[in-house]
Chains A and B, each alone.
Chain A
Amino acid sequence: MPTVPARPLRILLAKLGMDTHTVGITVVAHALREAGMEVIFTGLKQTPEAVASAAIQEDVDVVGISSLSAGHTRSLPRLARLLREQGAADKLLVAGGVIPEEDVPLLQEAGYARIFIMGAATAEIVQYLQDWWSARLAAEAARE
């Protein structure tokens, strides 16, 4: 039996607001699992408050938001602010979906490290997260 990775990356995937499209998030969740990550899914129609609370309870490394409706310019920054306020600023924030390129700078300023525009390959998302995780693990090891 293959060995379980000693420290799998834990990522919370959520959909904020009224948007109920699950295909994108389903496909990403499967791909992340195939890549050996633990994916915690908090459900549909979530508020930023509920997602922040779950992110802390689950001690995730990454929070990934999927957004296909158009309310992202308000709800995503609010989530980022809540996480900072609750001492969880060290979690990586990423988002994906139908997010116009014009909105990317606003979201990056709000704290989102990377936006995956709809159509981004899951391989790209997986690679990005794996690279980030390796760097983080290396930094932690160096500190000890």
Chain B
Amino acid sequence: MMDVAAQLLAGKVAAGARAIRWLDDRDPRAGELLRRIFAATGRAHIIGVTGPPGAGKSTLVDGIIAEERRRGRRVGVLAIDPTSPFTGGAILGDRVRMSRHALDEGVFIRSMGTRGESGGLSRATYDAALVMDAMGYEVVIVETVGVGQEEIDIVALAHSTIIVCVPGLGDEVQAMKAGLLEAGEILVLNKADREGFEQTWRHLELLLHLRGDGRVAGGWAARLLPAVATRNEGAGAIVAALDEHRRYLEDSGEFARQCGRRSEQQFLALARAALMADLLCGPAAELLSHVRARRLDPYTAAEQLSAQLRAGRTPR
């Protein structure tokens, strides 16, 4: 029997892959595993890559991997693709575009389905990134599904978020404005050899200017960079910007703070889930049925629940 935690801490890919499987499947062994590897986490630079479909994210990630490898870093990649909401199945094809790294021992690519989540990531993505972190990968790239406006989960999960755009998107750029473009640290305008490049570039420059984050003292001014991913052009500048951002995060203490915030969010999410599970077995179950039948209004029900808990009535 493989001691998965010990082996993944020693960098064994098969063990890391098994650990991520447990997380993905919500296997009961996952909790114990995370406990054992937690101390070894907090070092990796987690990079999110997002953008609309067709922007060339995977090809760009392929270039970024090559560039990071050239700098001697070991790279983990989590490539997320949508799970069908009707069948629960998925076709995960992102690693196709990174196939030149297939035999590089310093690169670990893992594909995941969203499995019911809607923010562009799966529930296990963050913990999977921790596994890669614990294995010793200095850079962990998370490539999201790319559905546009809903993709805000990545921003919370990653230290640095790259948003990939293409020229002539028009309406899609408008849609992205509302959410993502306000939060990404590096904007990449891919397919720079396309028509409409100048126009879209100016548009994005304007957006960044309006964001004004560079004007805050000590703040990070978002970078706008061009790329032609299919010709391997632009990855060098992107990685340089990522390195700069990482230095900025470390110098300002943000790096550690973000890791802490993520731990906090994980804790709250887990606690919330555990509490809800308990409650729904206990007094809340009865209250819930009253609410459903409209015998009781939700507000009163919630108050009654609080009162019961305060009074120390423990759930069954």
Complex contacts, A5 vs chain B, CB 8 Å: 88
User: When A2-B86, A39-B89 are in contact, do A7 and B13 touch as well, CB less than 8 Å?
Assistant: no
Closest to B111 in A: A40
Best-surrounded residue of A1, A35, A59 (most CB of chain B within 10 A): A59
- Report if A36 contacts B (CB, 8 A): yes
- Report if A138 contacts B (CB, 8 A): no
Shortest distance between the CB of A101 and any CB in chain B (Å): 30
- Report if B280 contacts A (CB, 8 A): no
User: When A43-B96, A54-B95, A59-B17 are in contact, do A6 and B111 touch as well, CB less than 8 Å?
Assistant: no
Q: How far is the CA of A33 from the CA of B103 in the complex (A)?
A: 27
Contact across chains for B92 and A43 when beta carbons are under 8 A apart: no
The B interface, classified by DSSP as helix, strand, loop or mixed, is: mixed
Shortest distance between the CB of B208 and any CB in chain A (Å): 36
Complex contacts, A92 vs chain B, CB 8 Å: none
Contact with B along A77-100 (1 / 0, CB 8 A): 000000000111000000000000
Best-surrounded residue of A4, A30, A35, A53 (most CB of chain B within 10 A): A4
Pick the contact of A33: B13, B91, B99, B111 (CB < 8 A): B91
Q: Which 7 pairs across A and B sit closest by C-beta, in order of nearness?
A: A33-B89, A59-B17, A50-B102, A43-B96, A36-B88, A4-B88, A59-B21
The 27 sampled A-B contact pairs (Cβ below 8 Å) are A1-B85, A2-B86, A2-B87, A2-B88, A4-B115, A8-B89, A8-B90, A29-B91, A32-B89, A33-B87, A36-B87, A37-B89, A38-B83, A38-B89, A39-B92, A40-B93, A41-B96, A42-B95, A42-B96, A43-B95, A43-B99, A50-B102, A50-B103, A54-B109, A56-B14, A57-B13, A59-B17
